[in-house]
Structure 1
Amino acid sequence: MDQARGNPRITRRPLLLGMAASLSASGVARGQSGTASDWPSRPVVYINVFPPGAATDILSRIYCDRMSQLAGQQFVVENRSGAGGTVGQAAIAQAPADGYTLGLGSIASLAIAPSILPDLPYDPARDFTFISGIWKVPNLLFVNNDLPARTVPELIDLLKKSPGKYTYGSSGFGTSPHLSMEMFKQKAGLEILHVPYRGGAPAMLDLLAGRVQLMFDNMPTVISAAREGKVRALAVTSAERSKAAPEIPTMTEFLPGFEITSWGSLVGPAGIPAPVVERLSSLTRQALENAELRRFFEENGATTWWTKPKELAQFRTAQEKLFAEVIRTAGAKVP
């Protein structure tokens, strides 16, 4: 899952969120390569490549809370945002390969960035240990309540009548919400100004204030605001309607072939010892089978997604090829 360019920084604002309320920031653990028998012997740092408050943060903290319980050591979430997730992704790639620094492998930084951002500070195929998928989630198209459009066809009609008048926010250049809007523009023949932010949360604040009028974002980030009537949800980007909100139509119902599903995975720096990878894979499978975690994911529009390490690596490669074509067709360019 998925933000904008800016000066790299570490953000440590706590997100008090039920199951994950006990998590707190700590320094990056350093140590020697571990084995399945002694790992983990101290807290594990999980780097979320996007800011607090975003869908990736909500889902990551619930996942890490469950992993903490299973592993007997705390999985501590650190937010390192910037450049569509590539700042945090680079930090993961450059960490010691001992199993004590892991993090989010996102669709934005591992599958989209290679085709849309120049001079990546890492090689997505070679610089990571791929461990498991964690979730899949659709994006949701929504608008400011003052915008006089209640359906996708009404929105298309409004935007076509005033090309260039309206602006859309995104969680950052090169994220799946950004490409969802680029695909929307390309398929519907629209002209809308892009305003990228350092994550979905600040973009949402500006949409609520009316400074941008529409956007896509990962469903867990926005579904609560939609249910509370703060924003107007128009469509989801999955092929089928979401179980979390079956009343919301899909984009494919209006624009055939429109489908983008965001995803998040567990990765670490290349070279993590195989026994540790196997242990992490097993713990992740147990975490994702937890009924409370699954219910929380589903209520927020996400589905659990466990994979074997090799399957995840192959999936990432296929996704990079897919989005290279989407980017070319949509005409998305680096600003």
Structure 2
Amino acid sequence: MPPVARRHVLLAGAAALAAPRLAAAQDAWPSRPVRYINPYTAGGPTDTLSRLLCQKMAEISGQQFVVENRTGSAGLVGNQAIAQSPADGYTLGLGGIATHAIAPTLYARMPFDAARDFTFVTGMWQLPNLLVVNLDIPATTVPELIAHLKANPGRYSYASAGSGTTLHISGELFKSMAGVDITHVPYRGSAAAYPDILAGRVHMIFDNIPGALAQARAGRVRPLGVTSARRSPVVPDTPTIAETLPGFDMSSWTCLCGPAGIPPATVARISALARRALEDEGLKRGYLDQGATAWWTTPEQIADFRASEERRLAPIIRASGARVD
């Protein structure tokens, strides 16, 4: 047999022998510990919610899910690490609205392609923001606030946890839909903004529910509206902003993702495990304690949702003038 032909036969034989082992490895997932990359700091809301999910998946599967906090560049560093990992299902992590729907428009240069460089498995949770205002603001409802802002254009400001965050985009969407003139004041995290809000130097914030609710329950700020399309079970008596501005919807959401190219059989197993975890009553209660709602989707649904969110948010981000070069 000619050397070239013999080499082709040997390669084909090796591939045939490897195929059953690969299929068995996929069918056995997870047969060893899984690394879960959280691109945000330890101890924050995403860390707490991630660890609740990883703990439940570990309980169900009998394998460890080890959370690794890989921070930097508003989540881009951690997601770059996810995208560059082996596509075997043993490195997964947290994607979401900031890194996969806002960042593609906000950043002039991205370290990854938000659509092509990932395997999307499922949604994980949704977490709306809560509009709270300084107690000196003469408004107890969203309509009253809008009327007051229109009567005083340019006089008031809103805080955020930084340009391009859902807190910022919530404010820009509110400005656009309500037709009001308020100034954006970015901070390094929402906690840093509250001293100025309480002192009246900044007047309101569209903060994630846990932080805003803690301030409201302490009587330091007044809650006016939830940014999700439907009322939050955490604050069921607080109206949505959409009840005043139909179509208003801005919630933080996250997804479980891995690098592009994870075999479909492995994706199916990860998806099934995540579904069992996210539908667990104990986990759902733990999420509600943090202001979040557990959210399972199919891989196809979360990929389509991510793309639709990028399209929806792009004109709002461009209109805000936010840009990172």
TM-score bracket for the superposition, by shorter chain length: 0.7 to 0.9
CA contact (8 A) 2:30 2:63 kept: no
Q: Is 1:323–2:320 an aligned residue pair?
A: no
Q: Please name the residue that 1:290 is paired with.
A: 280
Q: Is 1:137–2:113 an aligned residue pair?
A: no
Q: Please name the residue that 1:39 is paired with.
A: 30
Higher-Rg member (1/2): 2
Q: Distance in 1 between matches of 2:46 and 2:130?
A: 15
Return the letter of the residue paired with 2:52. I
Q: Please name the residue that 1:95 is paired with.
A: 85
Return the letter of the residue paired with 1:177. L
Alignment counterpart, residue 71 of structure 1, candidates 58, 61, 70 = 61
Q: Distance in 2 between matches of 1:249 and 1:93?
A: 39
Q: Distance in 1 between matches of 2:263 and 2:248?
A: 40
Change (3 A) 1:143 1:90: farther
Q: Secondary structure at the match of 1:51?
A: coil
Stretch deviating more after TM superposition (161-170 or 275-284): 161-170
Q: Distance in 2 between matches of 1:184 and 1:146?
A: 20
Instruction: Please report the RMSD computed on the Cα atoms of aligned residues, expressed in angstroms.
Output: 2.8
Alignment counterpart, residue 241 of structure 1, candidates 231, 246, 256 = 231
Q: TM-score scaled to structure 1, two decimals?
A: 0.79
Change (3 A) 1:203 1:39: farther
Aligned residues: 302
Percent identity, aligned pairs only, is: 53
Q: Is 1:109–2:99 an aligned residue pair?
A: yes
CA contact (8 A) 2:29 2:269 kept: no
Return the letter of the residue paired with 2:323. V
Change (3 A) 1:37 1:256: closer
Q: Which runs of 5+ in 1 are unaligned?
A: 1-31
Q: Please name the residue that 1:21 is paired with.
A: none
Give CA-to-partner distance per residue, 1:293-332, whole Å, 9 cap, x none. Answer: 112223444222111212211221122112224334x444
Alignment counterpart, residue 51 of structure 1, candidates 32, 36, 41 = 41
Alpha-carbon deviation of 1:198? 4.4
Q: Distance in 2 between matches of 1:76 and 1:191?
A: 46
Alpha-carbon deviation of 1:165? 4.3
Change (3 A) 1:67 1:211: farther
Q: After the TM superposition, which residues 1-335 of structure 1 pair with which residues of structure 2 at under 5 Å, given as runs?
A: 35-37=26-28, 39-42=30-33, 44-204=34-194, 207=197, 212-328=202-318, 330-334=319-323
Alpha-carbon deviation of 1:151? 2.5
Return the letter of the residue paired with 1:138. P
CA contact (8 A) 2:121 2:298 kept: yes
CA contact (8 A) 2:164 2:322 kept: no
Q: Distance in 2 between matches of 1:126 and 1:244?
A: 35
CA contact (8 A) 2:160 2:184 kept: yes
Alpha-carbon deviation of 1:211? 5.6
Q: Which runs of 5+ in 2 are unaligned?
A: 1-21
Q: Distance in 2 between matches of 1:53 and 1:145?
A: 29
Q: Distance in 2 between matches of 1:83 and 1:145?
A: 34
Q: Please name the residue that 1:28 is paired with.
A: none
Change (3 A) 1:200 1:79: farther
Q: Secondary structure at the match of 2:26?
A: coil
CA contact (8 A) 1:82 1:198 kept: no
Alpha-carbon deviation of 1:288? 0.8
Return the letter of the residue paired with 1:128. F
Alpha-carbon deviation of 1:116? 2.3
Q: Distance in 2 between matches of 1:309 and 1:201?
A: 34
Greater helix percent: which structure?
2
